Amino acid sequence: MITGIAHACYIVSDLDRAIGFYRDVLGLTEAFDFRNDQGERLGVYLHVGGRNFIELFQGNLAERAQGQSYAHLCLEVDDLEATVAALRERGAQVSDPALGGDQSWQAWLSDPDGNRIELHHYTGNSRQAPWLR
């Protein structure tokens, strides 16, 4: 049985730049590296919170799967206004918070490779509320 989302994986054009964004701007914690037989870092696992991770691998963006339907990664936050302010202080370009069609607050930004990230804050009227524990 599926119990949750374990991780989202991205191929990035510059691993160090991507790690800097996810670690230094978003504030995630590096969990562990993936290294080849020569000891070179090929990728990294970043802890988002709870049992959730983001996985990054250095690669050629032009070689990504054709027709891939990925749209965005959504990260739940505990205080959207404070999160947006903190990310802006760290240099991120983040949209102003807005109430979405699901009655949850959201704001948007992109990582250095253009992958869209939604910041999501549930409300008492969120359409997801019956499933939140």
Q: What is the CA radius of gyration of the chain?
A: 16
The residue out of 60, 93, 108 marking a domain boundary is 60
Alpha-helical runs (H) found in 14-66:
15-19
If one compares 5 and 108, the residue with the highest pLDDT of the two is 108
Same domain, 54 and 79: no
CB atoms within 10 A of CB 99: 13
In the block, which residue shows the tokens 């959730």? 52
Same domain, 56 and 75: no
Which pLDDT score is estimated for 27? 96
Same domain, 1 and 56: yes
Distance of CA 58 to the CA centre of its chain: 16
Same domain, 126 and 100: yes
50-106 pLDDT, tens digit per residue, is: 889 999 989 877 777 676 767 789 999 999 999 999 999 999 999 999 999 899 999
- Report yes or no on 65 lying in a domain: no
Its domain, for residue 95, covers: 71-133
Same domain, 43 and 82: no
Residue 26 parent element (H or E): none
19-46 pLDDT, tens digit per residue, is: 999 999 999 999 999 999 999 999 999 9
